[in-house]
A and B are shown apart, each in its own frame.
Chain A
Amino acid sequence: MSTIIDLLSYPFMQRALLAAVMVGILCPFIGNFVVMRKMAFFSSAISHSAFAGIALGALLGIDFSFSSVALSILIALFIAFLAERTTLSHDTIIGIAFSGIIAAGMLIMGFLKGYRAALFSYLFGDILAVNRSDLLLIFAVSAMTIVITLTFLKAFLQITFYRDLAKVEGINVRLFEYLMFLIIALVVTVSLKIVGIILVTSMLIIPAAAAKNLASSMRGLFSLSCAFGVISGVTGLIGSFYLNTASGPTIVLVSIGIFFLTMLRPAKS
C-alpha cells in the first residue's frame, strides 16, 4: 500500500490536493451565506444551469468553463430579476428556473452526437482529472470572490441580518444582492469539476451547517466552516485513494460525518 509520501509524489495527486484545499475554503466561505440566507435550492438551480451550459458548450463547440459560467450567471440574474418583479416566493421562482433549465439541458443533449463522457464527468466530478488551467481558474475565482466578499462582508452580513435596516443605514441592498447571486453562481460553477453537479451544493452547505452547529460568533462560523471544508476535501480525497472509491462522493460523505459529529454537541441555548 502506498504511503502518504508516495501519494503526494504523483503530480495528479498534488493538483487534486491543491484543488481540494482551495474548494474546501471557497465553498464553505460562500456557503455560510447560502445557509444563513436559506439559499440551498438556489445553489442547486445554479449547478444544474451549469450542466445545461456545458451541454450548450458541447453543442456550439465552445469552452465548457465559459459556457457553464455564462449560463449560470444568466440564470442567477434571471432569478433575481423575477424575484424583484413578482409576488411569488423565491422557492417558487427558483423551482420554475430549475425545471426550465434542466429541460433545456436535456433537449440540448438530445442534439449532441456520439458519446458524451465529458458531460457525464461533470455530473459526478473528477478531482483527479484537474489540470493546471483548472487550478488556475479555481485559484483566480477563489481569490477574487474571497477578496470581494471580505471587503463587503459588513454589508452582506447587515443585509443577511435584517434587509430593511441595512437599507436605512445606506447600504445599496439591491446591488449587494445581485453581487451575492453572481458570487454563488461563480463558486458553484468552478467547483463542479471537483465534486460534480449533483454534489456541489453539499460542499456549499454541509461544512457551513456543521460550523453553525458549533460557532458562537461570526468569526467562529467563517473559521470553522473553512476548516471543515479543508478537512473534508483532503481526508475525502486521500480516503478515496486508499478505499478505491469515487473522490467527490467520499469528500461529501466525510463532510456529512463531520456534520453528525457537530450534532453531538448539546443544543445551543
Chain B
Amino acid sequence: MDALSVENLCVKVSGRHLIENVTFSVEKGAIVAIIGPNGAGKTTLLKAILGLIPYDVGTISIFGRPLKNNNSGINVGYVPQRLEFDRTVPLTVSELLDFTVPPVYSFPFYRSREKKEYVNSLLALVGVQHLAERAIGSLSGGELQRVMIAKAIVNDPQVLFLDEPASGVDIEGQEKFYDLVTRLNKEKGLTVILISHDLNVVYRFADKVLCMNRRLICTGKPREALTDEVIKSVYGEMMGGYMHSCHEHDH
C-alpha cells in the first residue's frame, strides 16, 4: 500500500490556480523530495495534504485512508518552512515536547517518570538531549530544527513532512540534519516527504523526486527524472549547468 496517494489535486485561491491536476504516489518508507521554482505550489501542496488549506478537486489518501479537506485522525509529523513564533515566550525544549505527548487533555505540568524518559529518549535520538531545559527562543537554527524533528515524531508518525527544513541553517548543520532524517527513515521505516531548493540534497538523500511548477513536470529517481531539459525548463538555463556540477561533484 502506498504511504501517500494524491490524485488530480487542484488548489485554487482567490480564483487563481496554485496547483493543477497533480497526481503522484509515495511508497512506504521512501524519502521523496519535492522541487520547483518559487511560487511553484510546493508549500501549497504540502499544506493541502496536511489539511491546512482546502482543495477544490482531487483526492488525497494516507495509507489508503482518504482525507476530506481535513487531517483529523491521521498520524503525521510536520516541520514547517519558517517557524515564526514569539522567541521571548519562556518555553523550554522539554516542555514543548511534553505538551505534544498524548493525551492532549491531561495536566500539563505533571511529568511521570515514563513521560520524562520518553521525552529524553526522543531528544537523545535527535542529538539534543543537552538542550532539554533550554528556552526554545534561545536555540540556533540547527538546534531548533532538530527539536522540531523530535516534536514531529513524538506520536510515532507514519509520514514526516518537511518544508525546506534546513533553510537558514549552516552547511554543517544541514549535513547533520539530513543525516538525521535518513537515520530516522532507515531505523523507524518513516516515510519522508520534503521540499528542498537544494539539488545536492535531492541527489544525495531522496529516493524519488517530484518536480513541479503548479503542475507535475516529472517524477522518478532523481538521476533519471532530473534531466538537463527538465531542470532548464523549470529553473532556466543557469540551473542546467548547476545540475551538471552537482552530478560531477557527487560522482
A66 at the binding interface (Cβ < 8 Å): no
Which residue of B71, B107, B135 contacts A268 across the interface (Cβ within 8 Å)? B135
A154 to B206, CA, bound (A): 35
The distance from the CB of A81 to the nearest CB of chain B, in whole angstroms, is 19
The distance from the CB of A263 to the nearest CB of chain B, in whole angstroms, is 14
Q: A219's closest neighbor in chain B, by CB?
A: B109
Q: Find out whether the CB atom of B80 lies under 8 angstroms from the CB atom of A167.
A: no
B112 at the binding interface (Cβ < 8 Å): no
A104 at the binding interface (Cβ < 8 Å): no
A157 to B96, CA, bound (A): 9
Contacting chain B: which of A4-12, A52-60, A182-190, A209-217? A209-217
B1 at the binding interface (Cβ < 8 Å): no
Which residue of B71, B89, B108 contacts A170 across the interface (Cβ within 8 Å)? B71
Chain B residues, Cβ within 8 Å of A171: 104
The distance from the CB of A216 to the nearest CB of chain B, in whole angstroms, is 5
Number of interface residues of B (CB under 8 A): 36
Given A164-B52, A168-B51, are A155 and B104 also a contact pair (CB < 8 Å)? yes
Q: Find out whether the CB atom of A158 lies under 8 angstroms from the CB atom of B99.
A: yes
Chain A residues, Cβ within 8 Å of B107: 150-151, 153
Chain A residues, Cβ within 8 Å of B100: 154, 158, 169
Of the candidates A153, A154, A155, A219, the one having the most CB atoms from chain B within 10 angstroms of its own CB is A154
Q: B96's closest neighbor in chain A, by CB?
A: A161
Q: Find out whether the CB atom of B95 lies under 8 angstroms from the CB atom of A219.
A: yes
Which residue of B76, B90, B136 contacts A212 across the interface (Cβ within 8 Å)? B90
The distance from the CB of A102 to the nearest CB of chain B, in whole angstroms, is 30
Q: Find out whether the CB atom of B99 lies under 8 angstroms from the CB atom of A157.
A: yes
Of the candidates B89, B107, B133, B155, the one having the most CB atoms from chain A within 10 angstroms of its own CB is B89
The distance from the CB of A161 to the nearest CB of chain B, in whole angstroms, is 6
A79 to B92, CA, bound (A): 32
Q: Find out whether the CB atom of A165 lies under 8 angstroms from the CB atom of B78.
A: yes
Enumerate 18 A-B pairs (CB-CB under 8 Å) in ascending A order: A154-B105, A154-B108, A157-B108, A158-B104, A160-B89, A161-B85, A162-B80, A164-B80, A165-B80, A168-B78, A169-B155, A170-B71, A170-B72, A171-B104, A217-B91, A217-B92, A219-B95, A268-B88
Instruction: List residues of B whose CB falls within 8 A of some A CB.
Output: 47, 50-52, 71-73, 76, 78, 80, 83-86, 88-92, 95-96, 98-100, 104-109, 133, 135-136, 138, 151, 155
Q: Report, nearest first, the 10 A-B pairs whose CB atoms are least far apart.
A: A215-B90, A168-B78, A154-B99, A153-B108, A217-B92, A154-B108, A219-B109, A218-B95, A168-B50, A221-B90
